[in-house]
Amino acid sequence: MFARLFGPKEQQCLVYPRPDQTAVVARRRTSQGSFASCQPVFSLGPRPYPADLGKAVLKALKGGKAPSTFVAGPDEPCLVCQSNGGTLTVEGQAVETDPVRLGLLLLSLAARPAEGSPIAQDPTPFHPPCAWLAAACESKLLLCEMGLRQVRPVTWQEGLSQTPGRVFVTPRLEGWSLAVGLPYPDPEAEVQSDPLLLFLETLSQQAHKVCYFACDPGQGLFAWARTEEGTIVRAYAYLSEIGTTLWRLGHATEAERILPAFFDETCDEAEDPGYFQRTDLTYPEESSVLTMARAWALDPTTLKGEPSTGWSGALSVQ
């Protein structure tokens, strides 16, 4: 059975969990006794379905023939899968051959924090401009469910000052794990199919409650959204740079009703002469976003807690 599944000889493949794709590369022994990359090379999405990833690994372990043109960096992290014709191992540990379970294990290992011991620091408050989320779950679950790649432990200072495209995940604070460095709402996207909202919906299926906030006064962007158990409860976003309400889903929550009433160019009253000269209406601003963050989760400008470290990872969904 195992010979038919993997091939009669020792086989190996490498899984590279890259930010833009997951690559599964077959390897075979050379005449010198080492392994070299060969065909096939499977290119999957940045966070593939477990079954698809498991099947790709099992196919790669059947053995390849032609040399591969796949190129990996000398220090690029990867997962080693190997078979001797009777046992399948991942990172040296024997595992099951069921594609779904194999794929789930590989995704979990890809999201694990890298080795290292950054110095614990007091939680560092952060301020706009930025976008972040708060999830009512453990940090390790958030790391895994976000599909972050190249995860490594970092200090608060390093995590909050990293380059765009990487996300800083904090330890749990007062019941919330924060992820800082998320993308802004896309003004070109249809609200019902906005990739960011779909990402938040999917994330909340496991994290249960996820609150998103974005504030960039320079661009005039102010946004907040809350998803629970895979459903958008409320989403609001306004971009004054183009004078457009990007998101308006669900009913205003109790916390929003305390805020001043905002202009809404989409409402029927906006057609009335003098609507935008009214003094009882205003536009959202930075204080609006921070008020919502404080009401729904945590105010990022006043974080407190014991000295700790967080994690940095590349986000697959941009």
Tally Cβ neighbours within 10 Å of residue 4.
9
What is the structure's pLDDT at 182? 95
What is the structure's pLDDT at 134? 97
> For 166-202, what is each residue's pLDDT tens digit?
999 999 999 999 999 999 999 888 887 788 999 999 8
Task: Spell out the domains of the chain, with CATH numbers in brackets.
Answer: 2-110 (3.40.1590.10), 130-314 (no CATH)
Residue 31: band (very low, low, confident or very high) from pLDDT cuts 50, 70, 90: low
Edge-to-edge strand list for the sheet holding 11-17: 35-44, 22-29, 11-17, 79-83, 88-90, 93-94
Whole-number Cα distances in Å, 227 to 206, 214, 256, 298:
11, 15, 16, 16
pLDDT of 141 above 70: yes
**Residues 80, 91: contact at Cβ < 8 Å?**
yes
Share of the chain above pLDDT 90, in %: 45
> For 230-250, what is each residue's pLDDT tens digit?
999 999 999 988 888 899 999
**Among candidates 232, 228, 265, which has minimal Cα distance to 249?**
232
Could you give the CA distance from residue 60 to residue 200 in angstroms, rounded to a whole number?
33
| Chain center to CA of 318 | 9
- The maximal CA–CA distance of the chain, rounded, in angstroms, is 83
pLDDT of 5 above 70: no
Angle 144-146-152 (CA atoms, 0-180°, nearest 5)?
60
